[in-house]
Structure 1
Amino acid sequence: MVASALAFTGMTTLIKFLGDDYPAALQTFYRQLAGFIVLLPIIIRRGRGAYTTTRPGILLFRSAAGTVGMILSFYAFQKMPLADANALSFTRTLWLVPLAALVVRETVGPLRIGAAVVGFVGVLVMLRPGVDGAFAIGLPALAMLASSFLFALTITGMKVMTRDHSPTVLLVWAATLGLILGIPGAILTWRWPEPFDLVLLGAMGVLGTITQGCYIKGMSIGDAAAMAPIDYIRLVFTVIVGVSLFHEIPSVWTVAGAALVVASTLFITWREHQLSKLKKAGVVVSEEPL
């Protein structure tokens, strides 16, 4: 999980560094291309088996949402201070609460609803709409919030698909469709990269794949409730990079709002883990106990 946080910080640093010359849609294409290349040996070895599915429609929707979400998040990382963009990216956990009730039909009790409300209050603290008589929410912040919602949709879709699909099949479909769906945006914003920039773009894509791989591995071999908080260490890493490389000093509003978002998402993660343990133990959970 620490390696995932470090790789993510490296990726977002390159996103911001290259952002003046390479638009978010083009960077997304290179990110998707790197993920596909990494999975190509598995695709070749398994052949058609790597794409075995009974619900291609949901996989297409997940990939479309993920690709658009990635473009929006890359745009936000380019235009916002790294710490601010990172803090807003954690709102994906907050979006999972209403999506779990509406899409997966899970019972969502007052504790998780309350935690989600606190988290969104933290978002308002960071964005401060209406401060000094102006609506302070800019396009980059809205892009990151929309990205987090789209990523929450992909996570919800994964919960549905993992009932009868292996993680490898889901990764292969996501990488393949993500690459295909990333081509139009790349064509519209295309420019031939300089040799050194091509190396950096490739490194950015590889770091993104490492981020995903390390995160999945950490969550699979460790206790989810214990592993999830470690992911928030990337807030510390991005603050360090933002200050040292881009001279970005987080405001007191960012720190206060991020604290509320992190606290609420940690509680939601812990609560879902506790309910999952009860269900695995055979305890019928009709609603969340207070």
Structure 2
Amino acid sequence: MTPSLDSAARRQATGVILMCVGVASLSVNDAIAKLLTERYSPLQILFLRNIIALPVAALLAWRIGGAGALRSTRPGAHLVRGALWIVATILFFTAISRMGLAEATALVFVAPLFITALSALFFAEPVGWRRWAAVLAGFVGVLIMIRPGAESFRPISLLPVAVALVYAALMLGARWLDPRESVWTLMLYLSGSAALLSGVIAPFFWTPILASDLWLFAAIAVFGTGGMTMMTQAFRLAPASVAAPLDYTALIWATLLGWLIWRETPDGPAILGAAVIVGAGGFILWREHRLRG
């Protein structure tokens, strides 16, 4: 193996490790959020997480991206994306407070399907019949999981699907931003705008914080910011076709944490629906990589 190939292999291996650890960290972040929603509103949790993480995000942006990473030419676009992130996070925290962690996580994985559909509808991107078929299959998986019309149907299960739709809009909203801005600038302004906007509303939903919960708020900031940072760096080191599918390992962590903490066990239809959703999303990722390659 030549030195250049050896270096590329090490970078990719590091990216894979960072992606796996980052996904696990965000899964722990979600589990802590589920614990905190027993006593606090999702908006208060979101505000405190972002206000604690903001100095860390600013330091990372400055140390890695330089002083230029602290500036943006389109702050208004960042505010819009921050608002979308607030909506998505509140919906997700509300969902996991009332349903299983693994089930909610699996339903959120329809986001790539929404991204594909919205890209075709609003950005006129060409989407072939294979990817449209995968989108349709993914939504069949959603129907299998939420079981509309059945006695077991719960309207709360629609919330993670709404989260996926808002998240897809958030990801596509990155096209409004200056392409010269680094990923560290995007992270900084996303955290900052979310902290600013949630801070305006959070006082109306405030609950006095118990001293015994302070470590949970600190932990959710650490795991949330650390997870996002590691996943962002993973995409810089490894090809997207390698890093992106590893996001689905969140289902393993969500299932494990749900069982360990709350003794949650997904039933047969939930497992089948999740498998269909993951399969459809994985096919779309593979197809897009093949077309771009």
Alignment of 1:89-238 (within 5 A): 89-132=108-151, 136-139=153-156, 141-161=157-177, 163-238=179-254
Relative distance call for 1:234 and 1:30 in structure 2 (3 A) is: same
Give the unaligned 5+ runs of structure 1. Answer: 278-290
Q: Which residue of 2 aligns with 1:32?
A: 50
8 Å Cα contact 1:34/1:209 also seen in 2: no
Please report how far the alpha carbon of residue 152 of structure 1 lies from its aligned counterpart in structure 2 after TM superposition.
0.7
> Which residue of structure 2 lines up, in the alignment, with residue 52 of structure 1?
72
1:2 to 1:50, Cα distance in 2 relative to 1, 3 A? same
**Structure 1 residue identity aligned to 2:91:** L
C-alpha spacing 1:78/1:35, structure 2 compared with 1 (3 Å): same
User: Does 1:271 pair with 2:287?
Assistant: yes
Offset of residue 126 of structure 1: 0.1
**Partner SS state of residue 131, structure 1:** coil
Counterpart CA distance in 2 for 1:109 and 1:180 is 41
Q: State the Cα distance separating 1:63 from its structure 2 match.
A: 1.2
Moved more, 256-265 or 24-33: 24-33
The aligned counterpart of 1:6 is: 24
Aligned-pair RMSD on alpha carbons? 1.9
User: Could you tell me how far apart the structure 1 residues matched to 2:52 and 2:112 are?
Assistant: 26
User: Cα offset for 1:274?
Assistant: 1.7
1:241 to 257, 265, 277: 257
Per-residue Cα deviation, 1:97-137 (whole angstroms, up to 9, x for no partner): 122113333111111111011001000000000014x7x24
**SS of alignment partner, residue 206 of structure 2:** coil
User: CA separation in 1, counterparts of 2:272 and 2:281?
Assistant: 15
Relative to structure 1, the CA distance from residue 225 to residue 164 in structure 2 (aligned partners, 3 Å threshold; closer, same or farther) is same
Partner of 1:287: none
CA distance in 2, matches of 1:42, 1:260: 38
| Secondary structure of 2:50 counterpart | helix
The CA distance in 1 between the partners of 2:242 and 2:120, in whole Å, is 24
1:104/1:31 CA distance change after superposition, 3 Å: farther
Change (3 A) 1:188 1:142: farther
Question: Deviation per CA, 1:242-276, whole angstroms, max 9, x where unpaired?
Answer: 11220111010110000000000001111111222
Kept in 1: contact 2:77–2:176 (CA 8 A): no
Runs of 4+, deviation exceeding 6 Å: none
Secondary structure in 2 matching 1:207? helix
Give, in whole Å, the separation in 1 of the partners of 2:205 and 2:279: 39
Could you tell me which runs of 5 or more consecutive residues in structure 2 were left unpaired when the two chains were aligned.
1-18
- C-alpha displacement of 1:43: 6.5
The one-letter amino acid paired with 1:109 is G
Query: Conserved in 2, the CA contact under 8 Å of 1:83 and 1:250?
Result: yes
Contact 2:61 2:188 in 1 (8 A): yes
